[in-house]
Amino acid sequence: MAANSQSLLDSKTNKGVEKIIDIKDPTPLQRHVIFFDINNDGIVYPSETFKGCRRLGVGIFLSTVTAVFVNGALSRRTRPGKGFSFRFPIEIKNIHRGKHGSDTDVFDTEGRFVESKFEEIFAKHAHTNKDYLTSNELNEMLKANREPRDYLAWFGAYTEWRLLFSLGKEKEGFLRKETLRAFYDGSLFYQLAEKRASKK
């Protein structure tokens, strides 16, 4: 993760691509997204979202759907003042602008990690064991976070969390607190990709 984050400090440019975005001190939310920046230019295109999902072991169909949905939803939001692009780029430096409603608020409006909100997830919803969430407890949390008539955000939150649960759960069928923390600090995707690569 550190090497990938550091590579964003380069000031070079890609031919035919938008200027490299310099991120000197990535927020936790930015680190979370950097995993998908395959060519380290500070921008995530749908093809990179797809490749990132595949590195995590997500199937081809779901990786395609995820790339379309994520880039389609976040491209305009993360490119303030710029026109529509059929390439659907996501600018990592502005990823905090893509924050949607009906979520946990563990990331604040600037993309920073909020410890109290993270602990609140388990204080409110980890009924079986304080150190993990079951599938049912995760569903309870999603319902509790729903804002009235915010249907698109409901769908986004559900999709994100169910995919996370599928990727990060233990074989016993629960999501550990430490795994979720790694998700928020940006290290989980690298751990999962490395683990998958080592099995090949």
* Cβ–Cβ < 8 Å for 75, 82: no
Q: In terms of Cα–Cα distance, which of 104, 102, 123 is closest to 114?
A: 104
Amino acid letter for position 173: G
CA atoms within 13 A on the CB side of 79: 22
Whether the pTM exceeds 0.85: the reply is no
CB 92, CB 23: distance < 8 Å: yes
Cα end-to-end distance, the chain, whole Å: 21
Let me know: does 66 contact 58? Beta carbons within 8 Å: yes
- Per residue of the chain (200 residues), what is the pLDDT tens digit? 444 444 443 333 333 334 445 577 899 999 989 999 999 999 999 999 999 999 999 999 999 999 999 999 999 999 999 999 999 999 999 999 998 888 999 999 999 999 999 999 999 999 999 999 999 999 999 999 999 999 989 998 999 999 999 999 999 999 999 999 999 998 999 999 999 999 87
